[in-house]
Amino acid sequence: MSPALPVVLPLLAAALLSALGRWMPRRLLDTLALLTTGTVAVGCGSLVRASSQAPIVYWFGGWRVHDGVALGISFTVDPLGAGLATLVAALCTLSLAFAWHYFDSAGHLFHVLMLLFCAAMVGFCLTGDLFNLFVFFELMGVCAYALTGFKVEEPEAIQGAFNFAVTNSAGGVFILLGIGLLYGRTGQLNLAALGQALAAGPLDALVGCAFALLVVGLGTKAALVPFHFWLADAHAVAPTPVCALFSGVMVELGLYGLARVYWTVFAPALGAHAAAVRGVLVGVGVLTAVVGALMAFQQHHLKRQLAFSTVSHMGLALIGVGLLSGKGLAGAALYVLAHAPVKAALFLGVGVLLDRYRSVGEATLWRRGRELPWLGACFALGGWGLAGAPLLGTMPGKAALEEAATQAHLPWLSGVLLFAGVLTGAGVLRATARVFLGWGGPGPREAQDARADALAPEESQEAPRTRWAMGAVVGLLTLAGMVPGWVPHLGAWVEAEAVRFVEPSAYAARVLRGEVRPVPASARPVEVGGEALALGGGSVLAALALVWAVLRRSRSPDGGGLRRVLRAALAPLRDAHSGHVGDYVAWWVAGAAALGGSLLVLLR
């Protein structure tokens, strides 16, 4: 398959449905959208195999490199990019399959937006051009804003979409400014050509400023703290099939873009300052993981809890990227590979609860999920997976991250992984115990919160039965989230491709001169050893102990002395998430100044 086809096909299908969709029956719309995204998934999967020997370079219009100058626009496909594109298309297909029965009255514009969203995300994964990376970034954002405010009749949906659009547009402006600085310095937009041009020139404030602008812009899409405030508001109001894509793949693309831009464009120029860059990125990753975990555990609104959990897990993935090693990147890739289906399954499971009981509040749903034991089992597996339980999908990724941290002489990062895993896993397991087992009834304060959490249904007012197809999608995604822990040699393959990804000279040689350079193999592929298993088991036990302690005290009028102290200590953090876009922009500006200033000082 041509590398351009996975992007062109959904764009053509979206144009067709936009023009003729209003006269098409609903099931024909669903079928065409499903066939399109399914074909894209198969095509991207074939690109993973085809690019296994060397990256595939596709020049649009035949405008190839002349005398080292890249005149045309290219797609440069390597196994990690194609693999992420496959994950995007597969999740889009399953989300559309879930929406088949979830929406009774979705118009054709929903399918058009989903197809455009899929095309933008796939293009973001495959492009080899910095400006087109920005174009796909913006197309992805516009579709996401519209899907967030899909229920235009509800003020909350409009507010969530507005907060999302304002903060991410600010990030887009920063990316565009960074591209402008780089183009002004080099006259190039191709990623490989940019890397070679920057390596040949001086490292000055302009290069440092361009790097800082791109980190802030892409970090906004990745929901890194303090650029993350839009995420929970958007997830709370977006339709649940859309939430599955937001948390499953969209925010991960921000990290992918950051990794791609660093290693292909800046790594040759910033090589002498790698330790400083590592310190900044790992520091932001730790802050994101801790803040996200603390906020997630405090939430009783299931969509917000999962959204903050995503923030925390993006922090863990950023730690892997920020370690600036092949093993660290492999750990981040393996973690995302398991996190995406698990988080999508949990969001779609919340969609089943919302469809059936008209609420996503833990207290409101107390004991009501006992008639859905299969869904409770999926939630329990998801909670264990987020906690990093042995033999489940996230375990290889965590093991690789711990090993990479040790190699970078930062063994204390294992404590951050443990902290984030315990709190985010405990939040989901607490909800599972309350909703599906009826343990720990709501206290007075939670009952009050539950009334605020009550939502309008996303569809019909009649209490429906759970359709088998919706349950099948949730079960399939839950199983897919477990698979990375069971597939032999998957970790070794991902690490080999990660080592190739972090080698900018091999990438540039392939794009600019058509050469295929051998890449050194990893000294020791990822292995899940006894220490990682013990840490994973300890994480699950700690999460279960935390759940037991919380449920035991949940019926106390004030929640107990310790809980009262913790609530008071964390009150400023909760207050910062005010829902007001002005507050969010203020935090965004402060974060951009702090992060950009730190990078500029360290890169002098």
Using CA atoms, how far apart are residues 180 and 160, in angstroms rounded to an integer?
A: 30
Q: Does residue 456 belong to any structural domain of this protein? A: no
Question: Does pLDDT of 445 surpass 70?
Answer: no
Instruction: Give which of 276, 411, 430 is closest to 366, Cα–Cα.
Output: 430
- Among 301, 156, 136, 161, smallest CA distance to 231 is for 161
- For the cut 60, the answer to whether the pLDDT of residue 509 exceeds it is yes
Q: What is the pLDDT of residue 466?
A: 63
CB 554 within 8 Å of CB 407: no
Higher per-residue confidence, 393 vs 529: 393
The verdict on residue 133 lying in a domain is yes
- Cα–Cα dist 193/95, whole Å: 37
Cα separations in angstroms, 502 against 113, 207, 256, 385 = 34, 20, 12, 28
User: What does the pLDDT average to over 521-527?
Assistant: 64
For residue 560, the model assigns a pLDDT of 61
pLDDT(460) > 50: no
Both structure tokens of 545: 């102990």
CA atoms within 13 A on the CB side of 69: 5
Count structural domains, the chain.
1
Is 80 exceeded by the pLDDT of residue 229? yes
pLDDT tens digits, 255-295: 999 999 999 999 989 988 999 999 999 999 999 999 999 99
Whether the upstream peptide bond of residue 226 has omega within 30° of 0, thus cis, is yes
Start-to-end CA span in the chain (Å): 46
Q: Is residue 455 part of a domain?
A: no
Structural domain contains residue 488: yes
How far, rounded to the nearest angstrom, does the alpha carbon of residue 590 sit from its chain's CA centroid? Answer: 23
Task: Decide: 446 and 362 in contact? Cβ < 8 Å.
Answer: yes
Residue 188: give the domain boundaries: 4-450+467-515+525-603
Q: 77 in helix, strand or coil?
A: strand
Angle, CA of 300, 473 and 450, to the nearest 5°:
15
Residue 459 lies in a domain: no
- Using CA atoms, how far apart are residues 35 and 452, in angstroms rounded to an integer? 40
Q: Chain-wide mean pLDDT for the chain? A: 89
Nearest to 222 by CA among 122, 93, 313, 334: 313
Q: How far apart are CA 43 and CA 51, in angstroms?
A: 12
Q: What is the mean pLDDT of residues 466-491?
A: 86
Say if CB 66 and CB 521 are below 8 A apart: no
Which residue bears the tokens 């969509």? Answer: 303
Contact 407, 327 (CB under 8 A): yes
Q: What is the pLDDT of residues 143-183, one digit of tens each?
A: 999 999 988 888 889 999 999 999 999 999 999 999 999 99
520 located within any domain: no
CA-CA distance, 537 to 252, in Å (whole number)? Answer: 26
* Local confidence band at 462 (pLDDT 50, 70, 90 cut-offs): very low
> How far is CA 550 from each of CA 298, 302, 389, 437, rounded to the nearest angstrom?
11, 17, 21, 15
pLDDT band at 458 (very low <50, low <70, confident <90, very high): low
Please state the pTM of the whole predicted model. 0.93
Mean pLDDT of 332-343: 94
- DSSP letter at 23 equals G
What are the start-end ranges of the H helices in 358-443? 373-387, 394-407, 413-432
Looking at the domain assignment, is residue 462 inside a domain? no
Q: To the nearest whole percent, how much of the chain has pLDDT over 90?
A: 64
- 345 in any annotated domain: yes
**d(Cα 523, Cα 492) in Å, to the nearest integer?**
11
> Who has greater pLDDT, 67 or 266?
266
Confidence of residue 498 (pLDDT cuts 50, 70, 90): very high
**Residue 409 region, left (φ>0) first, then alpha (ψ -120 to 50), else beta?**
left
pLDDT digits (tens, 9 = 90+) for 96-154: 999 987 876 678 899 999 999 999 999 999 999 999 999 999 999 999 999 999 888 88
For the record, the structure tokens of 583 come out as 């507050």
Token duo for residue 35: 């066939």
Pairing of strands 65-66, 56-59: unpaired
Question: 176 in helix, strand or coil?
Answer: helix
Q: What average pLDDT does range 421-450 have in this prediction?
A: 83
Contacts of 457 (CB under 8 A, 6+ apart): 354, 355, 358
